Each structure stands twice: as C-alpha cells, then as structure tokens.
Structure 1
Amino acid sequence: MYSPKPYGLFIDGEQPTEADNNFIASLAVQIVNISTVSELTTIKMVRTLPDGGFVTALIHDDVFRIYVNKSSIYSDTYVFDGYASEFIPMLYSGLIEKAMVLDDGEGVQIKLTEQCRRRLSSYGITDAPAKTVSLQRFRVEYAEQFKYFEPEFKGIYFFSQYLKLKPTWYSGAMREVVQIVSAYGKQDLKDLPDSIEEQAKMIIHEPVLSLIKEELKGIRLPGYKGFPDQEGKIQYDYGSSGQFISFDSKNKPWLICVISSGVYAMPLPIIPATTTLAFREFIEEAGDSEIIAILDRFGGMPSGENFPQGNSFHTWQRAGAIIRICDSADFHQHSAMYSACGWSVNSLGREAFNTCWSYDDNNLMRVYGYKLKLSLGTANNHGLSSSVTLTADKVGGIENLELIKKYIVKLTDDMPVGEETTLAVHYKLRYVEPEQILQRAAGEYDSTSEMEYWDSLEVNPIASHSGSISQVSSGPVYWGMSEYPQTMGRLKFPERSGQGCESFIMVSPDYDGPMVKCDTVMFGCYVNDQLKTVKYFLDERTYFKEEESTFEDLMIIGEWEKTVTTGQTGIAGYFYTSDFDDRTEISAATSYTKIRGMDMGYGNPLYVTPAILWMNGSVSRSRYYKHETTQKTVTGFNIDAAVCIPVFGRDSLLYAYSESDVSTSESEVHSMHGVADATSYNLWTYDSIFHWMGNAGKGSPAPKNGLPVYVDSPSHSPVDSSGFADSGDWLGIGDGYLNITGIAGKYTQRGGDMAANGASIGGEPPYMAPYNTSSKELGKHAGRVNISISAADAAEVHKKDPDAWYFSFSPVESGGSFSYFYRDCCEVVFGASTYASISEKAGERRKYWGYTNLADHKSAHNFIGVINE
C-alpha cells in the first residue's frame, strides 16, 4: 500500500456527499497503487459515485487530478453513465385549456385535477396551487419531426405542441403513454419562474430515498437513460414507423417499431426509480391514485424516450436490448393510406392492423390489409441489468480473477465516457460468460482492437420474441371516372398538418380495363379491442327485378306485402363499416303495397221471408273483416354513404348516411269485406193464397194465413273461404225447429205489408269508419351520422341529413389557398374517466359521450397525465 499523492480536485455541479467523498478518497489510493506497481506514467479511472454522478481520476506525467461530475442530468456537462438514477419527474394531470399563447411569454393554461394539486403541494405539506394555472413549464415546442404542425406565419402567437400533437393520434397503450409523458413538461427548471407550480419536484425524503437507491444500486439500463426529454417534447412517431406498445406474457411493456427493415422491440423506457417497491409503497401511502394507475399498467412511469437513433440503434441491437422480431418488407413495398396512418393495435398490443395500397400489374389500384401478431417473451428484470460479482472459483483461480479485473479497468479507462458504444459494451459485459472476458484478458491488449471486438460482438437477445405480419385482405379499388378524381371524395383521412380531412384519391389513371367489382377493406381500427373495418363497395351490374309478393288468392286475416319495381335495379352505397351498413337495392321506381286484414266479427243474422206463392225463405249470416291497404310509390330513390377519419384520431371513424328521392306518393284505404257462414237454414210458413208452393218444414201448430213462421233444416255448404266464418249449427236447431214468428211474422201474415213479396230482416255488418287518404312529397331528404369510438362504441351522433361535404372532395381551392372539410375528435385515453367528443354539434355544444368535470365540450380537448375525475 502506497501513501496517497496530493491531487487537484475539480467539481462540476453539486458538492459531493459524505459517501461520495469517502469513495473518492478510496479511489485516490487505488489509482496511486496501480500506477506505482505497474510503473504507469499515465492512467485514468472512471467510476460512478454512490450518490449520483461520476468521478474521473487521472495521473499523467506525475500530475494527479480528480474530476467530480455531479451536474444536473439536464446540464450541458452532464454525462450519462448507464446506471439507473433515483430521479423522478413531477407528473401534472389535467386539461390543456390554452395551448396557443402570446409570444410574449404567456404560459400554457392548464386545468389541474384535484389529485395533481395534492401532488404539487407534496401531498399537503404546502399550499395547493390554483385549479387553473398558466405555466412556462409547458411552453413546449414541437419536436423536429412534428414541425409541420406549426403554421408558416405565427404572428404574435406561440404554438405549443399541445395544440395539435394529441394522444389520440396514436393507438392502443401508446395513446396512454403519450398522455402520461405529455404531463412532464420541461425538466430543466433553472430558467422557469420561482413558484411552486413551475418548480415542482417529486420530493421523496429519507428513508424512502435510501431504499430506492438501494434497489437501484448497480442497475444498468437497456438502451435508454430513464429521463424525460429535457425540453418536454413528445418523441414518439404515430405515422409510418408504427411505434406502439406491446405487453409480454407477464404484462411487461415493450416499445415496438415497424420499419422497412423489420419489426423491433425494446423494453419500454421507464423512470427506473418508479419501478422500485419503495416508490410504490410511498405512492400508496400518499394515496396518489393517478400514479398508482400508471404503475399498475406499466410497472413504472414511462420516460417518453424513443428507440436509440442512428448507429446507436444497431449498437443496442448487438447488445441484445433491441430485438428484431420478424420481417416487414411485404407490407412496406406498398404505400401508406395517409401520412398519419400508423398501426392500430389492441389494448395489449399483441395484435395490430394496417392497410396500404399500390397498383397491380394491370395498373389498377389495390388495397391490402395486414395483421401483425406478436408473442413476446419476458426479460430478466425487464432488461434492468444487475451487477455481476465474479469470484475466483468461477474463473479458475485468483490469478484469473485479478487478470479480468485489470482488463476491465483498462477497457473502462479507454472507452469514451457516456457514448452509446461504451454504455452498450458495459451492458454486454454483464451477459457474456466470464471465460469470454478471460480469453480477451489473456491476450495482448490493444485498446482499439478491444473496443472494436466488444462493440461488434452480438450477444443473445434479452428475451425470446416471435411474431409475423400477414396479408389478411386484398381487393381492387375501381372508380370509373379516373379522369375526374374529385368525383369520388367520400373517404377522408386527416391531413398531415391537422387543417382538416382530405379525400383519398381512388383513381387508377393508367388502367383502361373493364369495370371491376369491389368489396375492399380500406381502413381498420380497434375500438374496445374489436377490429372495425371500412369497406369500399362497387357493383355496377343491374337487372330487372321480379315482383316480390306474399299476396295470396285468399287474403282475409293477416299481413301481405308486394313490391313492384320499374326499370333496372342495382345496389347503391359505396362505403360500409363493421358497425354500419346501409347498402340497398335501388330502381327507377318502386311501389310497395301492404295489406293488413283484421277480424271484425259476425254481422246480424239475415232473415229472408218467402217470396209470393212460395212457402220457403232462408236464415243466414256473414263474418266480416277489414283490409287496411297502404301503398307507397317512390321514384328516383338513391342513397349515399361516406366515411371520415377525424383529425387527431386513429382509432375512431365517422359514418355519414344520406338518402333522397324525386317523389314519394302514399295512400291508405280501409275497406270491409264479408264471408258467408257455411251453415244456413230453411225459413218457412204457409198461406193458401200467398205461400203454398215449395216444401213444408217442421213446426207445430201448422201455419195458416202466413203464421206462425218456423226455421228448421240447417244446410252446410262450404266453399274455399268459408273456413273463416264456419261455426256449425250456429242457431242450435239440430233436428228440431225454431219459432221466429216474433221476428218475421208481421212480414208473412195475410194482410201484412210484405205478405206477398217477401222481406229481408237484419243482416247488418259491424260498423267501420270510412278512411281514405293520399299524399305526395317531392325531393325528400333524410340521413344521419354515426361514430365508432371507444367511449361510445358504435353510436348515433344525430339523425339530421349530413353535411354535403361528407360526400364531395376535400380540399377545395379557394382564392389561391385550400379549404378542408373538418371534423375532429378527442378522448380521455388513460384514467378512470370515460370521455370523448367530436366536432359534430349537438345543439350549441360538441357531441360528447361519458363525463369528466374538466371538459366543457367546446373544443378538441388535450388531456395530459391521468384523468380520474
């Protein structure tokens, strides 16, 4: 052991703690010993300090210096050492009320949740901020890849990222992550106003902080730093790179990207300290339900970091932290449906869907649907690499152990501090077998060769993943007027800069073949884990439709319909969805007739007395029914259907339906009809002058001079229709007779008014009020708008005729600029609250579903953090 040499101490950032100083003193002794024993004139050692930061000890030509770096993680001099930090960002939750502010420094206005106000007050230690605050902390610009959201001329305004970059652009759990990381704001607080709201930090005191540090001790991170973006900018892309979240078999989250070279996964970047048991217990004791919801879903608070960029991506792939799952070339050989069209995924991210298009060999447009399925294995501690302790018995003796230690010291000293290559090599060294390190240590040491070796070394992935992208649909898109693309504007997608919705151009300019039938999936999104698709339908074939009728020869009681079409018939309705399908047949004219028959019961019995000279008359009755006959004739009937994916939306769609006709004529007539009872009777009497021909029947005493009058001899004579009225011997005479002199006698007795000519008595039908009406209406219009969105599932927006622009082309040029059809949407995508709204109006307000007391239903709200109220 040699005495320590005097050294110069240089400190960047905070002063070292007592534990740091003890570590520095020990390091000073260690480097002096190594340099003396090894007779080295130049030696450098870099180590991580116990309480954060790192120390560099350097001896060069007998000059001894120690550099301590404990600068803020967001300072220009901070160098990330690859180890997990105890840093925890403050989470703001609420509603962005004002995202476009004056350029004079006006703060972005936020309406805070009550739980957030408690959190900002350190859970009641200080006074809670106001419900609505304006914060410089959230004057966050768009990240470079989203600069297209900024207008060309900003005038006196500052356009923060919260104006148009909203979580609903994304899909599945990525929507949730973006809502969460949007709530961190700027992290470099030194230039922000000195107020509780602006300078808020997650204050965690001892002994909880010590427990967090102990859990994180020696933990290295797999390709990320565990810090939110310094400027608070959202980093994730919702478009062509297809970034989303997928959960493995233990429900641990992975960040996924789908790029032309394949599908890749890495552990979702998380704030390491928030994954510790100590932090969770602290949050549970504080009763912070918002952060608990994040921990339950993601295992920690997402940091918002993206995949490493450029060469660093491949560096970490070789280190096993980024894993290639499967190929994606088949999908990427086609064109995206629109620039904001990333993959739509279900809530666990294990299934995704997307569409794309290209021209086939005949130059006809064809749209393809692809499904991505993932099965993700688990990684030990989800990629958080713990330190490895080597012992002599594991490496074949103390000599080998010392050789490995010296080798790693040399390698560490020669590697550039903080570079991705260095961090990845350190990560690899924990996964390779000691024998592999020993083999390198036993050879001749050359710093360049050793760095190249470890950098190029590919280790096994930290988890075993599998997956596939498969084509699940394919269909033509034919539009017969390719020379007039604006005639088909019914399918609209969000325009890139969020100005509105633009029509998908469904033309094949170089196709000159015949008409092609279409029933093609154009778009798909997951709504409450159900895949909802939009299909384009075209079938220009027509035919002469036969009469459709349930009419019968005998129609008494029941309902019957008949439809008669004029001219040729075809199917109309260009678009339909999984939830809404209004395709129907249309003709030049269609006549609908409906008859409804109802029983009205029996009328009164009809007594017919004998005619002159004859002895015999009759008794009969009828059963009556009413027919209500309605007729409707429609000429020039037509329908139209359109689909619009609203601005800010990926997992939602609007469906507009409209119908019209040239004229509609309607009439309704009520008529009454009767059916004779199959059973009738012989009515008879006798008069020697007026009624003496025919057959005498039963009765006693025998009639004379037209009295008495008898009824006998039931006669049953059924026909096809008489089943309705047939009730057998309805007078109950049987083999006997019935004296009806009281009913008919005055018409048959000699000297009576009708004695010679006969009379009809009774037979009145039931009463029916007359009804006959008709109307004609010209140019009738009707329609509705529906929506598929998670807060409402499949719902009706309104029953009014949709805006005509749903069915025509967007944009349109006006005065040298373009005007876009506009519909937008917003949602709470993470939290206990369910809420969504769209810009279709319901009265004076937007149409909305669900509830949160933060919303006023007047705009496309941007929610940040966790919304539980």
Structure 2
Amino acid sequence: MDEVRYGPVRIRISGDEVRGRSYLPRAMQMLRRAQERQRLGQLNVLRDHQSLDDDSYCYVVLGGGMATLHIIAGHAEADGDADVEINATPDFVSGVIAGGTIRAGEGGVELLHEFHPTQACIENYRPKEGRRHPFPFTGSFQPLQRLAVEPADEFAAELGSSSSVGGRENSQYVKLKPTMFTGAMRGLVQALMGFGKQRRKGNRQISLYERFGVADEPSAAPARPSAFASDTAKKGLQIRYDWKWARSHGLVTAADGRRWIIEIGINGVLAMPLPLHEATTTAEFAERVEEAGDVDAQKLLELYGGFPSGEPFPTGLDAWVRAGRVLRLLTREQMRPFYDHIGYSTVMGWAFNLSGTEAHNTAYRYADDGYQRGVHYCVSVGVGPTRVLKPSPLGQAYRQKLLPLRGNRDYPGIEAVLWKCDHLTASDVAGLQWSAGSIPALYRAIDALELPPMATGNAHLTRVSEGVLYHPGKTGNLIKFPEPAIGLLVSHDMRRERNAVGDPRCDTTVHVFFAGDELKWVRYFREPRSGGESLDDDYEQCMYVGSWHQHEETGGKSIPTAFYTSDFDDRIETSPSVSDTTVIGTDEGYAHVFLNDCLPWPIHATMGRSKRFKRVTTTKRVTDGWMQTGIAVPFHDREAYYYALQTTDGGGSDSRSVGYFQLEDPWSYRTWRVLGGWNNSKTPHPDGCGIGMTTRTVMNPGHTHGYCIDFEPNQINGAGVYKPTTCSDYADTGPWAGLCDNAESMLYYVAPPESESSFETSKPAGRYVVWLVNSSDHGQIKAAQVESLYFGLWPLISPDNGNPDQSADQYLEVTGNALGTANAMRYTVNINEKSRLIGRPDWSGMESGALTFVGVVNG
C-alpha cells in the first residue's frame, strides 16, 4: 500500500502501485467533482466512485474536513516462483482469533496473537495413526505462526495498519470479518481464513491430508505453479474477494449444484467456477476424510465439492471470457442504471441470498427537483450445468513454449492462454500450425481463440423501487452507515438542495439484505400532511340532570416521520394535545323560597322558589405521546441493522370540580304585604282571607298593581303565575302554593356545600428501546432499553461536526460465526457502549477486542 497526502487529501494506492499511480490524474478529477458537489450541497459527508479497468476502481470519501481517495489497482503478484514445493491438499485450522495483530516471536518468527482452536481442530491435529504432521494445540488462546497473514495488497489501505505500534502490525484478521460478506459467501470466506500459511518441512509444504488424495506419494502441484499459487505460498492465503459497494463477490449454486463465484460491480456482472484444490475433489479424498472422522473437512467437501483455493477473478478478463472460464453476464453499461447513483457507504456491497440467485442493494441520487431519490435494485443470476473439462495433452507443446512469458507485462493474457493450452481440441491445434514458429504469434493466436463457455449463464438488473428522500433538519430520524475511511458511523444527510420547493411524501427503501432467502428491508417514511383539530361532544343547552362527554384534539393529527422495517412497524397517528371532559348533573331539591317586594307599590310582593343542582366536572388533559426512530447499520455485519424506537408521554393533568347552580321554578306567586299606613288588621282582606290582613298571604294575581305587573294575563293559572323559561322544566313540579297561603311561613333557605376542586399533573415520561436484527439464528435481540426522555445519540449526526447539540462520533459493531453450528455472536449494545457476547463458544478472551471466526466452528 502506498499512501501520500495532497493538501487536505489522503491518497491511498493499493494493489499494483505502478498501475495505481497511472490512474491518479483520473482519480483526482473525480475527487474535484465530488468536492464541488459537497460544497454546493453543503453536505457533511459525500462519496463517489469510478471504474478504472477490469479489476481496478477508485472511490472518494469526503467528511470531517478531510478527503480520502483510494485507488485499488488489482493485485501486485509476488515476484518469482514459490521457494517451496506446494502441497496439493492443504490443511486448515478452525477456531476464534482475538486481537489478530502480528508480533515477532523467538528468532524473529512472525506470530499471530492470538488463536483459540475448536475441540475438533485440536483433535484433528492430535497425533494419531494414519494422520501425518500433527500439531500440538492447547485448549486456550495461543500465538500461531500460520495465521500471521497480512491483508492482500488491494485491501491493505482498509485492513492494514497505518503505522506500526509497539512492534505490532495488523493481520488480515483484525478488520476483515466473514460477516462483512453476504449469503453463502460469508461461510466461504470464513473457511478460507483458516488456511493461512501452510506448514513447511524443509523445502516443501506439509499437510494433514498428504496421503488422502494419492495413494503412494505426497500430493504436489505442478513444478511451475500459477502466479496466485506462488503468491499464496509466500504470503499465506489472503482474502482477495471484495465486499464493497463498487465491487461485491458472492456465491451462487449452479443448476448442477456446483458453486460459482459471482462478481457484481461497476465493471458489470461476472461468473466463474469456484476455484478448488483439484486433489481434494476426488472420491478417494472424500472417503479418507470420512474415515478419519474429520467433520471440518467434511463440511467443506459437502458445501464446495473440495477445498476452495481462494483464487480471485483473474486479471485480463477479456482473455478469460474468450477462454470460456469467466462468464460476462452483464456489461459495465448494463450496470450503469444502478452505478449512476451514489452508495450510502463504501462497504455496503450487494446483499446475496443464500443460494446466490438474487442480490439486492440500495443507493441514492440528486434529482433535478433538488430532492434525493433513494433506489432499490436487484440483480438476478442463473448459471446452468457446468461443462466438465478434462486436461488435453494436445496443447502441451504450446504450453511449454509459452511458459517463459509468465510474468511478462507485454503478455497480459498469458495465464488465460496457458489455461487454454490445457483444453485445446484437435481442430484448435490444427488451426494453430501456421503460428507455432513464433512465440508472440502463437500467443496472439491462442489468445484470440474463443472456447465454449464452461456453462450458460444469465443476469438481469431490475429496479425494485424508487422514492423521495427528504428530512428537513440535520438531526432527528436518521439512518447511519459504517464508513471505514472515517472509522465511524456516518449519518445520511437527506436535506434538499436550495432550489427545491414543496414538501414531498416519502416511503423509500434505504437498506436491504437477506436472512437466508428472506429479504429484510428498512424504509424511510414521511407524511407532511396532517389532519385538522377536532371537537366532539354531546353537550346540550340545559345540562342539569344527566351525564355528558366532550373529546377535544388540538394541534392536528399526524403520523410522525419514522423508519419502519420488515420486522418493526411502530408508526402511529398522534395529536399534540387531547382532553376528555365528563360532566354529571344531579338534582339537589328546592333550596330557596324567597320574596321580592314591589318597591313602586309597597303592599305587593312576589314569592318564588329555586331548585339547586350539583354539577361534577372531570377533565383529563394529555399531551399526546410521540415517537422517534433511528437506524444504524453496524460495522462488520452487512446482514444487520439496529432499530431504535423512542416513545414519549408528554405528561398531562387531571382536574375535578364540584359546583352548585340554581334554577328558578317557573311558578311564582303574588303576595300582600302588611304595611302600616297602607293596610292593617282592621281592613277587610281583599281576597276574603279572614277579617283583616295580619300577615303576608298569597293573593289573586289579578289584584296586582300596574306598577308590579311582570307577566301576561294568559300566564295566570289559578293563584299562580306560570312563566316558563328555556330550561325551567328541570325546576317545575307544578303549582306549589294556593290563595290565602301564609307566604311568610313558606320562606326558607338552605345554604349549598362549599365547592370542591382538585388538580393534579403528571410529568412527561419516555423510554427508548434498541433492537438488533441480523441473519443469525438469534432472531430479534433487544440490545438495550433506557428509561429517559433523552434519545441518546440516535438523533445526533455522526461524525462530530463541532456542535455537541447536533453531533457526536458514533460507532457500533457486530460479528459472529458464519460457518458451522456454533452461534457465538458479539454485538455493541448501544451506540458507543459496551459489547455483549452471546451464544457458544464463549471462551474467556472473546469479550472485547477484535474478534474473528475462521474455519468451521461448531457449537
């Protein structure tokens, strides 16, 4: 890996440095375009990518005030042939790596720190009859030389150490996890990570399986191994399959059950048979493995038909397509509808299902209206039966002539040409006779030959969905993706561009992966429209006896902006404030009989009465609950997401009041008044109520003086006056006094009880729950639950932009076993918090630090 700084730009070149430097001008042009787009859009983080050649690409990540430009220029093969005789039946280890750094041991030997073997691994390497070259493993974490393997050149920038710390360097096991891949590919990568460096004895490699494939002699590769085999013999088996957005590798099952490697990326869709160590594909080898009771090796044979070699897609793809060994299922142009978009993260590669027949991914773009569009695409893949090829002796003479060209840059397709030499037909050979005298002419002639493909294949790119992405603020409901170039989760900024108008609705897929063959998805939902306020009641004008209710919602109903997923949908319709009021009225009886004198005519008065009613009013006011969500895709597990849900109760109040109300009886009566100088006991009573007027008596209303008439003639009913009002029926029980009744004796007043009232408030309350969903057999895991109105770091953007109210550096990670029956998994319980280990194995030392599973790990 070569790294330079160009102003505030960090430039990394991985793989073939010569090729990488030649692409630097094109990569810098892409960088400048991305910087201008970031400036115009005022974006916190931005990414872009570009294809450079068949196996080279570059990408840029802008964020945190820095720009990282990474050029991945294929792979720089080791110079020269291997210095060891390569074994055709390599062995591997199974277990767990904690840490994964490389340190110098005794005599300068590089050791990986540290590896814990499984019990099956310990048994496989234990000395026993019929098993060659044992190795004394212990049942604990221990340093191991064979796994001291550095990252492959093309991935050294992402996986290696930026500098040596305390004599430690990163092995490929520190940052590379099988769970960064998807579908069956994660199991394949975990198997490959167990091979490491093959043990040596003198000038040859040794293996547990030396005598398993061939009866008499140790299995050995041809004297002139391929460039990949030589490279692996020197450096150890380095993972050279890719997991990123620009290029992803997966594993598909062909129609005949054989496994093929699939590449989906900016250069199109490619397929080739899964490379295997040929000596491990025989029936005899399988029988010997079964006899030995080697369950780990049996698992690899069951899944792949042999031990995978880890060989990547070759360079010079056109030459290999002509050879028929590589299928080009979709071209670069055919993949452009997807790759004209921007990835949410450089490591969000295509998500394959378990059979490899489908791969899904998401991306976004800026549309002409100033709003982002989020897209969800699918690539469907099919591979027919594999054509079985047997080496042919017809081209061996040509092969021997061309072998000296291996490693010569003037002959980039030499490996494909040599492979063709092993599979030429008689007609092919006959057509080459004219060119056999000149080695360059022979190379060109064989390179131009098109052999039949090893299988038929097809692929189709389909847009599954597209939708608007818009969130008006920096904080709130956010989705965050891992970005290794920054080393943190990065929030996706969904703000619109300055020229955008309107307030769009959103229901858009932003994240997808498979759990087996079940598609999991995350969608962003925003509904800008809200309902109006509402008031419903059964109130009436005369509320004296009975029960009534009122329901009021203020602020308008709405569905909060939220993420929802294939596993969780907590969207609810809410109102900012709700109140419910109940009124109960009861009859307390007549509480007051009273007299009102007629001042203009003092000897007349009016007698009335009123009924008292009790009214109890209870009101419950609630500031309605609210919800907020957050999504985070963790580091190291492409088939996972965290779903955080905050629910709040805004508090409220409960009140109760008791009041008393008077309502006058519609029946009233006119009375005489004893007043000296006006009337007295000697005067005959006007209504014949005795000799004279000695007390107030109910009079005939017809005698009422004109000054005191407040009723119509038709309202006279016997001795009473009937004057109903709107609600007076509730106080009406009919006539209640008669002519000549002693009015003074009828007077009374009952004082009402004191009014009552109470008022209680409830404080706002809230909590949030964090769920982890991934493709493991653990199902939905409740990672954390916090009782708080504060939503933790979920609504804040990441990385830190200098404003603590808006942002913070954030991190989450998940990894676990991907091959075997063990279900051990370690995950961060909440953003920036501790990790938790669940499942088996749960050996001491697995709780913290880098954790990587290799080989076959059974529970």
Q: Distance in 2 between matches of 1:328 and 1:168?
A: 25
Q: Distance in 2 between matches of 1:479 and 1:845?
A: 30
Q: 3-state SS of the aligned residue for 1:449?
A: helix
State the Cα deviation string for residues 550-590 of structure 1 (Å, max 9, x = none): 99xxxxxxxx9996422211111321111111111222212
Show the counterpart of 1:136: 145
State the Cα deviation string for residues 511-556 of structure 1 (Å, max 9, x = none): 42111111111111112321111111111212225568999xxxxx
State the Cα deviation string for residues 207-237 of structure 1 (Å, max 9, x = none): 75238989x9999999975985642322111
Show the counterpart of 1:796: 782
Q: 3-state SS of the aligned residue for 1:797?
A: strand
Show the counterpart of 1:780: 765
Q: 3-state SS of the aligned residue for 1:804?
A: coil
Question: Partner amino acid for 2:648?
Answer: S
Please report how far the alpha carbon of residue 639 of structure 1 lies from its aligned counterpart in structure 2 after TM superposition.
1.3
Q: 3-state SS of the aligned residue for 2:557?
A: strand
State the Cα deviation string for residues 652-698 of structure 1 (Å, max 9, x = none): 000000122431446999xxxxxxxxxxxxxxxxxxxxxxxxxxxxx
CA contact (8 A) 2:770 2:830 kept: no
Q: Distance in 2 between matches of 1:207 and 1:183?
A: 19
Give TM-score scaled by structure 2 length.
Answer: 0.65
Show the counterpart of 1:834: 823
Decide which of 391, 395, 416 is 2:404's aligned counterpart.
416
Show the counterpart of 2:432: 440
Q: Distance in 2 between matches of 1:276 and 1:518?
A: 56
Show the counterpart of 2:856: 866
Question: Partner amino acid for 1:798?
Answer: A
Show the counterpart of 1:148: 158
644-653 vs 221-230, greater mean Cα deviation? 221-230
Question: Partner amino acid for 1:175?
Answer: R
Show structure 1 runs of 5+ residues with no match.
Answer: 1-72, 193-198, 391-404, 552-559, 596-628, 670-771
Decide which of 500, 505, 509 is 2:488's aligned counterpart.
500
| Paired residues for 1:168-247 under 5 Å | 168-187=179-198, 189=200, 201-204=206-209, 206=211, 208-210=213-215, 225=229, 228=232, 230-232=234-236, 233-239=238-244, 240-247=246-253
Show the counterpart of 2:178: 167
For these two proteins, the number of residue pairs brought into alignment is 617
Please report how far the alpha carbon of residue 262 of structure 1 lies from its aligned counterpart in structure 2 after TM superposition.
1.5
- Residues 589 and 117 of structure 1, relative CA distance in 2, 3 Å threshold: same
Show the counterpart of 2:840: 851
Show the counterpart of 2:88: 87
Q: Distance in 1 between matches of 2:148 and 2:785?
A: 41
Please report how far the alpha carbon of residue 280 of structure 1 lies from its aligned counterpart in structure 2 after TM superposition.
1.1
Question: Partner amino acid for 2:126?
Answer: S
Show the counterpart of 1:475: 467
- Residues 234 and 563 of structure 1, relative CA distance in 2, 3 Å threshold: farther
Show the counterpart of 1:321: 325
Decide which of 557, 563, 571 is 1:575's aligned counterpart.
563
- Residues 389 and 432 of structure 1, relative CA distance in 2, 3 Å threshold: closer
Q: Distance in 1 between matches of 2:843 and 2:102?
A: 20
Please report how far the alpha carbon of residue 867 of structure 1 lies from its aligned counterpart in structure 2 after TM superposition.
0.6
State the Cα deviation string for residues 799-840 of structure 1 (Å, max 9, x = none): 325851112101114699x96211111111110112323110
Q: 3-state SS of the aligned residue for 1:654?
A: strand
Q: Distance in 1 between matches of 2:144 and 2:513?
A: 36
Q: 3-state SS of the aligned residue for 1:793?
A: coil
Q: Distance in 1 between matches of 2:341 and 2:578?
A: 44
- Residues 229 and 657 of structure 1, relative CA distance in 2, 3 Å threshold: farther
Q: 3-state SS of the aligned residue for 2:490?
A: strand
Q: 3-state SS of the aligned residue for 2:522?
A: strand
Q: 3-state SS of the aligned residue for 1:95?
A: strand
- Residues 388 and 151 of structure 1, relative CA distance in 2, 3 Å threshold: closer
State the Cα deviation string for residues 117-174 of structure 1 (Å, max 9, x = none): 1222355765742123212332322223242344545431322222211111111111
1:250 paired to 2:256: yes
1:365 paired to 2:372: yes
Q: 3-state SS of the aligned residue for 2:300?
A: helix
Q: Taking every aligned residue pair, what percent have the same amino acid on both sides? A: 26
Question: Partner amino acid for 1:825?
Answer: V
1:118 paired to 2:123: yes
Q: 3-state SS of the aligned residue for 1:571?
A: coil
Show the counterpart of 1:274: 280
Please report how far the alpha carbon of residue 298 of structure 1 lies from its aligned counterpart in structure 2 after TM superposition.
1.2
| Paired residues for 1:300-449 under 5 Å | 300-309=306-315, 311=316, 313-326=317-330, 327-381=334-388, 385-388=389-392, 409=397, 412-414=400-402, 416=404, 418=406, 421-429=413-421, 431-441=423-433, 445-449=437-441
826-835 vs 645-654, greater mean Cα deviation? 826-835
- Residues 426 and 186 of structure 1, relative CA distance in 2, 3 Å threshold: closer
CA contact (8 A) 1:569 1:586 kept: yes
Q: Distance in 1 between matches of 2:838 and 2:441?
A: 63
CA contact (8 A) 1:220 1:386 kept: no
Q: 3-state SS of the aligned residue for 2:146?
A: helix
Question: Partner amino acid for 1:365?
Answer: Q
CA contact (8 A) 1:651 1:789 kept: yes
Question: Partner amino acid for 2:149?
Answer: V
CA contact (8 A) 2:78 2:230 kept: no
CA contact (8 A) 1:181 1:228 kept: no
Please report how far the alpha carbon of residue 100 of structure 1 lies from its aligned counterpart in structure 2 after TM superposition.
3.5
- Residues 455 and 668 of structure 1, relative CA distance in 2, 3 Å threshold: farther
Q: Distance in 1 between matches of 2:226 and 2:81?
A: 23
Question: Partner amino acid for 1:91?
Answer: F
Show the counterpart of 2:520: 532
Question: Partner amino acid for 1:314?
Answer: D
Q: Distance in 2 between matches of 1:220 and 1:667?
A: 92
Give TM-score scaled by structure 1 length.
Answer: 0.64
Q: Distance in 2 between matches of 1:411 and 1:150?
A: 38
Q: Distance in 2 between matches of 1:505 and 1:664?
A: 35
Show structure 2 runs of 5+ residues with no match.
Answer: 1-76, 540-547, 584-616, 658-756
Question: Partner amino acid for 1:90?
Answer: D
Q: 3-state SS of the aligned residue for 2:556?
A: strand
RMSD: 4.1
Question: Partner amino acid for 2:772?
Answer: I
CA contact (8 A) 2:837 2:847 kept: no
Q: 3-state SS of the aligned residue for 2:347?
A: coil
Question: Partner amino acid for 1:862?
Answer: T
Q: Distance in 2 between matches of 1:796 and 1:594?
A: 41
Q: Distance in 2 between matches of 1:354 and 1:427?
A: 35
CA contact (8 A) 2:372 2:470 kept: yes
